[in-house]
Structure 1
Amino acid sequence: MTETITVRPGQPADVPAIVTTIDEAGFDEAVFSWVIPDEQARRERLATGAEQQTAWVTSTLATAEIVTAGTPSREIAGVAVWQFEDGEPETAPADLTDFFAQAYGPYAARMMLVLELTGQRHPRHEPHWYLQQILVVPALRGHGLGGALLRHQLARADAAGVPAYLEASSPRNRALYERYGFQPLGDSIALPEDGPRLQPMWRPLRIGRAPAYRLSGSTDVVVGS
């Protein structure tokens, strides 16, 4: 059975659906599950953090790229957040601590630790696209949405001659990223207390290689199994 997957940039009108998808798809994500280990506490944070999540998505649409993937049955079922890094040292926003305190409550320090550890390993030697997160709702995992989201932005990176970077949070994700040209970059980042190991991965500049994917305007329609 085949199903059409539509991939397109997120728009301001999509904010409520993007927030819903991130909450649903991110509930069992490895890092979020480590930051807030208790399932009930995770549900409570999602329920009480809707305002902060909405503000974050709205802000991110203005400063980064939020790409959405959907099917005929659900317009937005997957989300990828890409930030273009210009190669300069990152400066954390002054209000980040306050934001984490509001969004994560008593678990804010754990989220700050994730940011600190990944920031220490993030390469800054040249401009690149950074995949902050990629999420697909549980009901549609394994249906090609993750790959479609990757193809969309990597085609842009190839066309512009720009590398890409991410941290893989599971062996399954790492295998997917390797299929799209990402390579391990050094040792993995071990979160304490038996947390997940995050593998930094770099996709080199594709010199002289045309994108292997078809783009149609701002919408990429892919047919998969």
Structure 2
Amino acid sequence: MSAPSSPSRLGPSAVGPLSELLASCFHQDALTRWMIPDDRRRAELLPGFFRVFVELSAAHEGVLTAGDGEAVLLFLPAGAVVDEEALDGALSAALGGYAEAMRAIASLQAQGHPAGRPHYYVSFGAVRPGRQKGGLMSALLERMLRRADAEGVGTYVEASSPGGEAASRRVGFERLGPDLVLPGDGPVLRPMWRDPR
């Protein structure tokens, strides 16, 4: 198993492949299917959608990779300031008519997000099929958590799948508050928190 890369080593040439990896891994995720119901359109739009988040996390040294790019973890460290207007514009450009669904997700996430508690925020993590269940994601999470622990701050994630929840629990996350349920019997996001150690 390759060691996770340093977040500062993400070069521009890595942004596209990591965006494609995330798009591929999340193509059948309940959250992206709710956001973009049509399979073909989802396949077309997800790489651009994830590129926004890869670039956002990279700007805050919040990208870790392992397995020669076969696994990726995106996060924002405590104190990261996000230009919400610019982010909304980038997501609107990437998603077109599906941007309103993304705004509904973001609004729901804002309701459950822990306020007034400095923390790292994990946005997305993915491992290429065939490399899953080999410890790559746990290694990435543990590396990020060492940073959070060294700074004495907690870490927050919203798990959108049983696999994501299981990976989070393995490294010490616990449920935080009620599930976030999207409209129309939509998918569930499970808020989870880990105190610093």
TM-score (norm 1): 0.77
| Pick aligned residue for 1:139 from 100, 117, 130 | 130
The separation in 2 between residues aligned to 1:172 and 1:58, in whole angstroms, is 25
- Counterpart in 2 of 1:221? none
- Bigger share in strand: 1
Asked which structure has the greater RCO (Cα within 8 Å, sep 6+), the reply is 1
The separation in 2 between residues aligned to 1:30 and 1:55, in whole angstroms, is 20
The separation in 1 between residues aligned to 2:154 and 2:50, in whole angstroms, is 29
Paired-residue identity, %: 35
Q: Does 1:194 align with 2:191?
A: no
Contact 1:5 1:148 in 2 (8 A): no
Contact 2:22 2:126 in 1 (8 A): yes
Q: Structure 1 residues 61, 153: closer, same or farther in 2, change over 3 A?
A: same
Instruction: Summarize the alignment of residues 106-145 of structure 1 with structure 2, pairs less than 5 Å apart.
Output: 106-145=97-136
- Counterpart in 1 of 2:54? 57
Q: Does 1:86 align with 2:62?
A: no
TM-score (norm 2): 0.87
The separation in 2 between residues aligned to 1:101 and 1:153, in whole angstroms, is 29
The separation in 2 between residues aligned to 1:200 and 1:55, in whole angstroms, is 22
Instruction: Summarize the alignment of residues 202-213 of structure 1 with structure 2, pairs less than 5 Å apart.
Output: 202-206=193-197
- Counterpart in 2 of 1:222? none
The separation in 1 between residues aligned to 2:158 and 2:46, in whole angstroms, is 23
Mark the structure with the bigger radius of gyration.
1
- Counterpart in 2 of 1:150? 141
What runs of 5+ residues in structure 2 fail to find an aligned partner? none
Contact 1:31 1:169 in 2 (8 A): yes
Divergent runs of 4+, >4 A: 52-56
The separation in 2 between residues aligned to 1:200 and 1:192, in whole angstroms, is 17
- Counterpart in 1 of 2:69? 76
Counting matched residue pairs gives 194
Give 1:98 deviation, angstroms: 2.6
The separation in 2 between residues aligned to 1:203 and 1:129, in whole angstroms, is 10
The separation in 1 between residues aligned to 2:185 and 2:140, in whole angstroms, is 30
After the TM superposition, which of the residue ranges 107-116 and 120-129 deviates more from structure 2?
120-129
- Counterpart in 2 of 1:214? none
Q: Structure 1 residues 160, 97: closer, same or farther in 2, change over 3 A?
A: closer
Contact 1:169 1:197 in 2 (8 A): yes
The separation in 2 between residues aligned to 1:93 and 1:57, in whole angstroms, is 15
Contact 2:71 2:127 in 1 (8 A): yes
The separation in 2 between residues aligned to 1:46 and 1:179, in whole angstroms, is 28
Q: Structure 1 residues 162, 191: closer, same or farther in 2, change over 3 A?
A: same
Contact 2:23 2:43 in 1 (8 A): no
The separation in 1 between residues aligned to 2:136 and 2:176, in whole angstroms, is 25
Contact 2:53 2:74 in 1 (8 A): no
After the TM superposition, which of the residue ranges 8-17 and 143-152 deviates more from structure 2?
8-17
- SS of the residue corresponding to residue 177 of structure 1 reads helix
Q: Does 1:67 align with 2:58?
A: no
- Counterpart in 1 of 2:16? 16
